[in-house]
Amino acid sequence: MSYTTQMDAAKKGIITKEMEIVAQKENMDVKKLMALIAEGKIAIPANKNHKNINPDGIGQGLRTKINVNLGISKDCPNIDVELEKVKVALDMKVEAIMDLSSFGKTEEFRRKLIDMSPAMIGTVPIYDAVGFYDKELKDITAEEFLDVVEKHGKDGVDFVTIHAGINKETAEVFKRNKRITNIVSRGGSLLYAWMELNQQENPFFQHYDKLLDICEKYDITISLGDACRPGSINDATDACQIKELMVLGELTLRAWERNVQVMIEGPGHMAINEIEANMLLEKKLCHGAPFYVLGPIVTDIAPGYDHITSAIGGAIAASHGADFLCYVTPAEHLRLPNLDDMKEGIIASKIAAHAGDIAKNVNGAREWDNEMSRRRQKLDWEGMFKLAIDPEKARRYRRESMPEHADSCTMCGKMCSMRNMNKIMEGKDINILRED
């Protein structure tokens, strides 16, 4: 029996090789996985043309995944630098990379990225449109926007961010409800500007069925972008954010009717006490579709430390149902991240995702922590390093300050609680002041 997309296969009761791989990774019964894909609660972004993909699932009951944003810009157009970041990100086992290139040889970078990456690849086609056509934004036609999506599909892109929810109705709600930071989504602001300049409906909303044709053809997952995501905690959970979310819920159902997989994108900047409610709203309004969040960044005052502000929000979001975290680096709001910024962002997001998985009781999440605790109790330093989320940094810290006694560290020395409790539990004496 033939099928067009992972969702189409799932509805027909066909277990694909991608489903088998994901089920094994997640230690989930493959028939349960298939049922959740058929319902739209899990997506496996895997373009038919991405030949070397090692697929991952995103959604209900699965590990929280993380995404890394990379790509060239007009101010930083060095492809080799970005490809080096790609290599390191893949070495760090990220599940997804988004190519946000917006200048120059975007096609060259995108194709190299897809060829070398077993991780899923995402793009924001509207970023590519201005450079690809060498036209001012207002002069690009609706058909040309869709043609860029088709081009990305042919190249093997697994998921595309499409800001289809900022239609005329949503724009009117935005105009009536003032914000401090207006529209901070880059793609969302470009589409809003195009609509205002041309006095026309959002082309991705107006021609949504044509967009679905393209996505079904290549099995591209639509990541429905949140043009109205809050760019400050003041703007969170306001009228236009919720209005757009309602539109995205309607677009989700239309996509599922065509067997096109969907993810929903979410905030953004948001106070801690609003995160849980936002996760519930998305799952309710968008029918349980996987939720992909940027942050949320929980305070606006920490430029240079937004990998921390977002990890706080990401952990809370994941614990309440977010399925996919977009990393945030220390360079957020300041500049294009360098290699070290990227590493810090990845580690912070991995910590947040894992913390969320513990709270969600994801299969096997706690066992990692429990095994680390057992190694600590035994003062098994090498075992601890192997289990660490960043073994290199853990080894370096220990190496930089070696203790007199190997069964301790330079913080506590022979007063180490683990060392002394082990001795007492074994019926031995404790010699803190005496030599061994």
411-417: long-range contacts, CB 8 A cutoff, minimum separation 24? 416/379
Question: How far apart are the C-alpha atoms of 80 and 87, rounded to whole Å?
Answer: 11
Q: If 0-12 CB within 10 Å is exposed, 13-18 middle and 19+ buried, where does residue 105 land? A: middle
Residue 86 backbone dihedrals phi, psi, to 5 degrees: -60, -45
Contact 306, 329 (CB under 8 A): yes
Residues at the binding site for substrate are 69, 98, 127, 163, 185-187, 226-229, 265, 292
Binding-site residue set for Zn(2+): 269, 333
List the binding residues: 69, 98, 127, 163, 185-187, 226-229, 265, 269, 292, 333, 409, 412, 416
Do 416 and 407 touch, CB atoms closer than 8 A? Answer: yes
From the annotation, which residues make up the binding site for [4Fe-4S] cluster?
409, 412, 416
Q: Is the dihedral of CA 377, 380, 385, 386 positive or negative?
A: negative
